[in-house]
Amino acid sequence: MKGKRILLIVGGGIAAYKSLDLVRRLRERGMSVCAVLTDGGSQFVTPLALASLSGQEVHQELFSLTAEARMGHIELSRDADLIVIAPATADLLAKAAQGLANDLASTLLLATDTRVLAAPSMNLRMWLHPATQRNVATLRGDGMLFVGPNDGDMACGEFGPGRMAEPLEIVAAVEAALAGNTAIPLPMAQSAAPGPLAGLRVVVTSGPTHEPIDPVRYIANRSSGKQGHAIAQAAAAAGASVVLVSGPVTVPDPAGVETVHVETARDMLEAVEGALPADIFIAAAAVADWRVGAALAEKLKKGASGPPTLGLVENPDILATVAQAARRPPLVVGFAAETEKVIEHAQAKLARKNCDLIVANDVSPASGVMGGDANTVHLVTKDGVETWPKLPKQEVAQRLIARLAALIKESGA
């Protein structure tokens, strides 16, 4: 990461003191740091402290005569390889989500063509408030990356989510973001010419499925839907007509995509079959393999006889069903979420499911993939295995769609 340029926006929160250590940690790794200090941030740390640690001028004013003579706020936003907001206050996130630009920090966020990584920090009630959660969902949909917040003690004396991630956690997220392409193309550039999937229909599954045990309990997994939703968004950006069949998730529906919400594996299969025919099918959902044979109509209660026995039956195999269907799409892509022998299991799945490509990844707890913002994938085909570095999930999606567009073109489908 040596030589990478970070633009650090320091918001107005008590966690701003951690930003001083963050500057030091980034510089230890050979990155340069240019700091922007908000009015609120200056109540907690001084420009002199930031300048001393970063070795660069600290920027505070939107209308600086010497800087604005050369459109300084535009240059600041364009010179960085990554913009980091730490602490990212509720106010800064709200401004970014609404596209406001009434100070230097918010103007930079609106004028940038560079990926943004936010480290939220605020009171737990502010973080959990529907307005903040709505703003975060909007920003995630726009491509903003997040690290934290963590659970912990607050300066206000409360305990819960809202504590800013520690500097080394933020550094790790910075390195993961910088491993991919952090440039954001202009929307007009994307629409100037037909995308590589223009005129094609793509069906994507995403998220988990919930298989009811009784009216209040269900079998599920930790899938967040971030990767599948990013793939649907990337396919739409490439010009495709996209149907996204999503299990229960908290991420927002991608713009320009027809989203069908389902709950169970059987619901998902029905929705997928209703969306066919298609040119490409991408099974990114983490479908529950089993369900309770007969879900109870009333809540299951504890009893003297001990834990109940749940009779499980196998769910339909959506990937195999589509891959073997009479209306089989020309390109069928599956995902293999594994915790061991990732490549071997993916190769076996490729043959067993009759699909054209498997995207394999390690979802063991140590990987941080389930629910995280980055992914390390292996593309497995009958011709071999291609391993990609750890990348933001948006970057994985864009690369995957570009690869699938090339495969479709090669096949003449």
User: Tell me: the pLDDT tens digits for 387-397?
Assistant: 999 899 989 99
Strand pairing report for 374-375 and 391-392: antiparallel
| Chain segment 323-378, per-residue pLDDT in tens | 999 889 999 999 998 889 999 999 999 989 989 999 999 888 888 887 788 889 99
Same fold, 5-178 and 187-411: yes
| DSSP-assigned letter for residue 120 | E
Q: Percent of the chain, pLDDT > 70?
A: 93
Using DSSP's 3-state secondary structure scheme, residue 115 falls into coil
5-178 CATH fold: Rossmann fold (3.40.50)
Q: Which residues contact 113 (CB under 8 A, 6 or more apart)?
A: 77, 78, 183, 184, 185, 186
Q: Where are the domains of the chain?
A: 5-178, 187-411
Q: Is the model's pLDDT at 73 over the cut of 70?
A: no
In angstroms, rounded to a whole number, what is the distance separating the alpha carbons of residues 357 and 331? 8
**355 counts as catalytic:** no
Average pLDDT over residues 63-77: 56
Radius of gyration of the chain, Cα coordinates, nearest whole angstrom: 23
C-alpha to C-alpha distance for 397 and 72, rounded to whole angstroms: 33
pLDDT at 16 (0 to 100): 93
404/81 Cα distance (integer angstroms): 28
Question: What topology does CATH give the domain 187-411?
Answer: Rossmann fold (3.40.50)
Concatenated DSSP letters of 268-333: HHHHHHHH---SEEEE--B--SEEESS--SS-----TT-SPPP-EEEPP-HHHHHHTSTT--SEEE
- Whether this prediction's pTM lies above 0.85 is answered by no
- Catalytic residue, chosen from 156, 313, 351, 406, is 156
Residue 302 has pLDDT above 90, yes or no: no
What backbone torsions phi and psi does residue 116 show, to the nearest 5 degrees?
Answer: -120, 135
CA distance 26 to 123: 26
